[in-house]
Amino acid sequence: MTMQWRMLMGQRAQQMSSSIIREILKFAQQPDLISLAGGWPAAGLFPVEDLADACREVLSGASEAALQYGVTEGYAPLRRTLAEMARAKGLPVDEGNILVTSGSQQALDLVGRLFIDPDDVVLVERPTYLGALQAWQAYGARFVSVPVDDDGMDVAAAEAVIAKHHPKFVYVMPNFHNPAGVTLSLARRRQLLELVRRYGIALVEDDPYGDLRFEGEDVAPLYALDAASLAAGDPGSVIYMSTFSKTLAPGLRLGWIIAPAEVAQRLAKAKQGADLHTASLCQVLANEYCQRGLLGPHIEEIRATYRERRDALLAALARHMPPGVRWTQPQGGLFLWLSLPEQVDSLKLLEDAIAAKVAFVPGTAFYADDGGRNAMRLTFASTPPALIDEGIRRLALVLKKHMEAVNA
């Protein structure tokens, strides 16, 4: 009898979606294509020399810690380093609140594993980070959403949705949102906390880009705002997550979760069954790098480069885009969000754009429902200013043709 694998696969297998970005990137490998698509940080900015130095030290000194099994919670010195970094942002935590994860994708997965039963509801932004949708779909989550505007999540719209759908948690990316590029205002952060507390639900604060601010003032993390006003015995309502992927190097696959101790412990149990622990070599290396005081200056450096590229993208859009196209003004991060006239379908546009040697991610990739057709995400991360201008010139040409076609 011929083996029928499909018959054996579980319901979860049906719920797994593949990342549309990864599919696009397969077509976007031609060397003369200008990709404003992938969310990859610029490889040219990786601190290769300093990492190589730190690695040499680690494999001569702490080589057992770097090569042996470790505890699920993470390498203790790294957890202390991360706790110290968090305290500097106003989060009143210690290493008992920290779980090191295999990238922040695993942080999302572990939250899903711990909280989501099939058909549980999760409230997300519209648009939202597609990796979160992908992680939680696998656990059978149903998504409800509220829109994002220039001040981030529309918190006023959230209450009715919460009251109606009783989500397990709200997922928010407050700083330099991927894909929208916007930042949640302080007033809305306070309103959102008041709301989740009132309904007794959790808030998942995903902050991969917070350190990449180009201008303006940092806004306090929701975790810090929540903790500042807790009554005795209240563990707080926020799970915070971040990553070294955008500030140091994604190939290390190092993220972390900051949570009330009881939640951190439960998440560690979930992680034990998932992959025992995160690669020791990467943890010890990242800790050595941070302990040498290199991370802060490195972030300063990449911020300057990304700022220049963001400026180039904004200038190119202003120069080339036809009337009727709008875009966000990110104060940091790697992305901005472009809204097209209503009749333009960015998925169809993409085919012609790739033929014209420029790539972007269509907006639909970032929607739990079928929204986002007339929008796209652009990144300025990996492209030098001159090429950004040329890419936007190509994109604007293709777009004008589409707009003429739909108006004809």
Indicate which single residue of 28, 34, 212, 285 sits in contact with a copy of itself (rule: CB under 8 A).
285
Which is nearest to 242 in space by CA: 18, 24, 82, 351?
Answer: 82
DSSP letters for 334-393: SEEEEE--TT--HHHHHHHHHHTTEE-EEGGGG-SSS--TTEEEEE-TTS-HHHHHHHHH
**Residues 8-37 contacting a copy of itself, CB under 8 A:** 8-13, 16-19, 22
Phi, psi of 125 (to 5 degrees): -85, 165
Q: Which is nearer to a copy of itself, 277 or 309 (CB)?
A: 277
| Whole-angstrom distance, CA of residue 252 vs CA of residue 247 | 11
Q: Which amino acid is at 268?
A: A
| Whole-angstrom distance, CA of residue 187 vs CA of residue 151 | 10
Does 272 participate in binding a copy of itself (rule CB under 8 A)?
yes
Q: Which stretch binds a copy of itself (CB under 8 A): 170-178, 200-208, 347-355, 362-370?
A: 200-208
Q: Which amino acid is at 279?
A: A
Does 277 participate in binding a copy of itself (rule CB under 8 A)?
yes
Does 187 participate in binding a copy of itself (rule CB under 8 A)?
no
Q: Which is nearer to a copy of itself, 52 or 187 (CB)?
A: 52
Indicate which single residue of 149, 150, 234, 300 sits in contact with a copy of itself (rule: CB under 8 A).
234
Q: How many CA atoms lie within 13 A of 358 on its CB side?
A: 23
Q: Which is nearer to a copy of itself, 281 or 406 (CB)?
A: 281
Q: In whole angstroms, how close is the CB of 256 to a copy of itself at the nearest point?
A: 13
Q: Which is nearer to a copy of itself, 69 or 88 (CB)?
A: 69
Does 236 participate in binding a copy of itself (rule CB under 8 A)?
yes
3-state SS assignment for residue 202: strand
Q: Contact 154/162 with Cβ under 8 angstroms?
A: no
| Whole-angstrom distance, CA of residue 152 vs CA of residue 173 | 8
Q: Which stretch binds a copy of itself (CB under 8 A): 82-90, 177-185, 251-259, 310-318?
A: 251-259
Indicate which single residue of 83, 162, 202, 388 sits in contact with a copy of itself (rule: CB under 8 A).
202
Does 163 participate in binding a copy of itself (rule CB under 8 A)?
no
Site track 65-104 with a copy of itself (rule: CB under 8 A), x = hit: xxxxxxxx-----------------------------xx-
Q: Contact 323/145 with Cβ under 8 angstroms?
A: no
**Residues 101-130 contacting a copy of itself, CB under 8 A:** 102-103, 105-106, 109, 113-117, 120
3-state SS assignment for residue 213: strand
Q: Which stretch binds a copy of itself (CB under 8 A): 90-98, 143-151, 278-286, 299-307?
A: 278-286
DSSP letters for 135-194: HHHTTT-EEEEEEEETTEE-HHHHHHHHHHH--SEEEE--SS-TTT-----HHHHHHHHH
**Residues 133-162 contacting a copy of itself, CB under 8 A:** 134-135, 137-139
